[in-house]
Amino acid sequence: MISMAVHRNLLRLRGFCMTPTERVLFHPFMVNGSVASCLRERGESQPPLDWPIRKRIALGAARGLSYLHDHCDPKIIHRDVKAANILLDEEFEAVVGDFGLAKLMDYKDTHVTTSVRRTIGHIAPEYLSTGRASEKTDVFGYGVMLLELINGRSAFDLARLANDDDFMLFDWVKGLLKEKKLETLVDANLHGYYVDEEVEQLMQVALLCTQTSPMERPKMSDVVRMLEGDGLAERWKAWQKKEMFRQEVNHTPTTQILIASLPIQLPISDPLNCPVQDDPSMALLLAHNI
């Protein structure tokens, strides 16, 4: 499976060796370690990843994952996309590695069902609850990795910083981005040497990738295009409209939602006294909202 994937941003398989007790794979040595080690395990003499390098890593990792999803037949789902599995070569080019959990997926399928063996904190909610992995599972992991790349902290540390759990972390990030508090979102080790607009764009991509619904997440090929400057503004604007609608619905009493949805006038004092038996769709609406 690994030998099928040949791309600049994927870890190449150079060879393998099998003995009665061992199975060994041979890969090129990545002299600069991983994104995780460069962000959180670097020595005092090692400079932090600068902003241009972080942007290049984001794009390179996206290109590698896009190749797995769209140019391999059958497509390959990585299933463990995280900062520790994005390796860096001598030029700090991103190389997606560790295919130990990868699964082959027929193009006519929408998902594969497996046991959950990923790193907690990077797991997409639908994978955690059902064990069903898809290319959108990788997109979620990429979005979390992107947040770590921008901020420097692990997903766990970011959740603690947000004083909440993993899933509410994204609401915290949304709030800071809306208020343009970039100094809280960006790695302090950069000492302000970054471009505000580029930070906002990468954060927008990360939030689009970590949406709860897998259907609403972009494909990795779309992520590549957005990072290259094509289509992000339009997609972000559409996402903002959806967010505004969700917030309005969440702050609207159920009775008001029902009345607004029904095609007939009802007295507010008795919103459920209506002939739903004549319209199954109305019965479904009421059942969903009660």
Which of 70, 73, 80, 89 is flagged as catalytic?
80
Pairing of strands 15-18, 75-77: unpaired
Asked whether the beta carbons of 134 and 111 are under 8 A apart, the reply is yes
Phi first, then psi: what are they for 184, rounded to 5°? Answer: -80, -30
What does each C-alpha distance from 174 to 88, 99, 136, 171, 250 come to in angstroms?
A: 29, 31, 20, 5, 17
Q: Is 80 a catalytic residue?
A: yes
Query: How distant is the alpha carbon of residue 268 from its chain centre?
Result: 43
- For CA atoms 89, 94, 98, 99, the dihedral sign is negative
**Please, what is the Cα angle at 89 between 87 and 92, to 5 degrees?**
90
Which are the catalytic amino acids? 80
